[in-house]
Structure 1
Amino acid sequence: MATERHPPNRAVLVFNRVAVKLAGTRAMPVWALVHHVGRRSGALYRTPVAVFPAVGVFYVGLPWGRDTDWVRNLRAAGGGTMVWRGVRYDVSDPTFVDKSEVLNVARLPQREILKRWSLTDFLRVRRVRATT
């Protein structure tokens, strides 16, 4: 079942302005910064997201649904880059998955958080450390 799409409220938009400066750093290890290219504009964007890392992949919760611009941009391009804990990764093969897959690979502390989280929809991206 896909998460219903509803736009983020004003507080989230304000938070994102701050989060985009800290996401991807060692100071905020739960947050990564997705770098993506606009589907129509070709403009470069950066979006902070909460990630659950696993071997070779990142899982990203989709609280605003599957149709957010950053998700659509990443899927249209077949991938992009993410910065997590100060390291840049090339990400590819963005695929929608349900919560059960994430629970199966999550480490114990993450699993406990995920069980309590009402999200059911996630995006899985394959990751490799960027060479540049």
Structure 2
Amino acid sequence: MSGPPAAARQFNRVAIRLAGHRWFPLWAVVHHRGRRSGTEYTTPVAVIATDSTFVIGLPWGRGTDWVRNVRAAGGCTVLWKGAAHECTEPTFVGKDVALAAANGMIRRVLERQDFSGGFLQLTHRPAP
């Protein structure tokens, strides 16, 4: 699967400002560090949250830099609903796990969409 389209960079600039706030619960911001450069990055993502996990759709696949960075580090920090969550155990999961975590409109969207890129599941707890 190819990487994100060029328009994604423009969208990300807006999404970073909105994601992670309590009034946008579908969107979160992943804070991660480059696996080679050590540079800190932020990436807006759509999340399905449970009491102990975040499930994140990977529309551009498992090979995107942010996914590789999170996996290499063994975790990241996710800003969601105004609170930082320390996340560990990044694991690739299938659509069945995402459907089990989702409800309402999000579940209906997932049922109709092809998420061939899969999903990344992160175990979370509030950051200290």
TM over 0.5, shorter chain: yes
1:10-65 superposed Cα distances (whole Å, 9 cap, x missing partner) = 22211011111111012322110000000000010000000011120000000010
Deviation at 1:107, TM superposition (A): 2.0
Q: Is residue 25 of structure 2 the alignment partner of residue 29 of structure 1?
A: yes
TM score, norm. by length of structure 1: 0.91
The correspondence for 2:45, drawn from 46, 49, 54, is 49
1:119 alignment partner AA: F
SS in 2 for 1:95: strand
TM score, norm. by length of structure 2: 0.94
Conserved 8 A contact 2:48-2:101? no
Aligned-partner Cα distance in 2 for 1:104–1:50: 16
SS in 1 for 2:72: helix
1:127 maps to 124
Report how many residues are paired.
Answer: 127
- 5+ residue gaps in structure 2? none
- 5+ residue gaps in structure 1? none
The correspondence for 1:75, drawn from 67, 71, 74, is 71
1:84 maps to 80
Q: RMSD of the alignment, in Å?
A: 1.1
| Fraction of identical pairs, as percent | 49
1:79-107 superposed Cα distances (whole Å, 9 cap, x missing partner) = 01000010100000000000011112322
Q: Is residue 94 of structure 2 the alignment partner of residue 102 of structure 1?
A: no
Aligned-partner Cα distance in 1 for 2:22–2:4: 26
Deviation at 1:109, TM superposition (A): 3.0
SS in 1 for 2:67: helix
1:130 alignment partner AA: A
User: Which deviates more, 88-97 or 103-112?
Assistant: 103-112
User: Which deviates more, 12-21 or 41-50?
Assistant: 12-21
Aligned-partner Cα distance in 2 for 1:129–1:17: 26
